[in-house]
A and B are shown apart, each in its own frame.
Chain A
Amino acid sequence: MPEEILLKMKNINKDFYGNQVLTGVDLELKRGHILGLVGENGAGKSTLMNILFGSTVIKETGGFQGEIELDGQICNFESPFDALDAGVGMVHQEFMLIPGFQAAENIMLNRELTKRNFWVDVFGERLSSLKLDEMVARSQKAIDTVGVDLNAKTLVSEMPVAHKQFTEIAREIDRENTKLLILDEPTAVLTESEAEIMLSVVRRLADMGISVIFISHRLREIMQICDELVVLRDGKLVKEVPTKETNPDQISEWMVGREIGSGPAREKTRNTIDENEIVLKVRNLWVDMPGEHVVNVDLDIRKGEIFGIGGLAGQGKLGIPNGIMGLYPAGGTVELHGKKIKLNDPRFALDSGMAFVSEDRREVGLLLEEPIDWNISFTVMQTQEKYLKRFLGGLIKWRDDKAIAKLAQEYIDLLEIRCTSSRQLAKELSGGNQQKVCLAKAFAVRPDLLFVSEPTRGIDVGAKQLVLDTLHQYNDKFGITIIICSSELEELRSISDRVAIVSEGKIAGILPPTAPLKEFGALMLEA
């Protein structure tokens, strides 16, 4: 096998509307090598691969700067079709297959083997007949190359997930010219034994001379099959090393380590935590939230603490608050102040003194079409019957618009919500100000226990700090116990008293915020 360079990416820069996501990334890949690409969510892995694959999303958002050289030729892919022609294949995280078609039909899609017939002479190429037998035979060959036991005539809709994954790979290698294969988290949906087969398939492809870029959150897999490894963090390439020269601990440190402020920054003005009083007791909680399943959650939250829940996206951390607040099907026992909480009933959770700031600001957190004052007052009005005037002995509960406006104005001043008035529609606010409205809505309920999910997602740096400060302040001043879920570990460490890490739908461990980064990394990556 010649040790020649197949792919060179030079000084890749990309921004989305001024938000820099990739800065000066250089990358090299030798023929027949497997390159592991690791990094936290939002580190820029997907963007980098989209650039390489010529995805239209890159072009629509203003293109990128830098140079890509494939097989010694400078390429500038206008679309995935160009990339495919040049020999780059990609297997996406989400399956791109037609469920009602056989494996063979999917593999040969748009490259069908055809033969001429009478109608072609009349109407043209589009009416050629398919040579189904040959297509099946050729697909079967591709599948056999992958090395799995799968009949090419099986319908995709009837396959287990692993086989769908293999069908996608078979499709990519069936293209005769495929030189480079991008695998975006191919093992994420597979069981352990399926993942093993998957890895051996990838190894075999590499031995056939196809280069592979392998994206995974599972460091063990990376260590097992990759020749080299590249770590991205905040859009920068922080490390490029041969896998042999490193270990998972080191990798996780590279991944999560920040250049600035690596220690917990927070200091409580007074110690509000009551070690002995358990506010919330969770036992055997399971939550069926799509994409964020969790099982066997046991937690004891102490009064007055800020409890962080971290972990990578899709691992299940968001399931915990959503389940306890009754928004997604859940089971197990949850006790607030020793009182059992009825699950799957948002009203009960709210009445018990809990409040929730959802991670999904636009879909769950806000009434976008309604003014700020409605947004802030609605929950407290509906659950606690405040801001209502009563007539006819309480038969008619009239909305007190004046009181609502006053309440909204209080929070607008307190949280510095930038708006024209309390009657401005929520959809007209910026992300940060929308988040403040969501917080105000939760504060207005005056909860004992506040769940905050991804409070800083999609808002700018200044607003981020203000949101975190506000949470800190409410915890400190009013003794509200806060459970905060975030994908940003740094943020959790800066604000929380304890941090739990959720990985693969389970709580992997609970650490003090002062614990070294690599311990957090290890829990996140189940290495």
Chain B
Amino acid sequence: MGFVDIALIVLIVTGAIYLLYRSIWKKRGYCSGCSSSGKCR
């Protein structure tokens, strides 16, 4: 496994964690019944 592989893995994992944080915490788990602005409040 080379440097590029490791860099790619770090990038993917960081991206996944950020996406998780953004969708669950920042966007408060936007879902049906929430307002059309995309937030639950």
Q: Are A and B part of the same complex?
A: no
Task: Give A residues with C-beta under 8 Å from B.
Answer: none
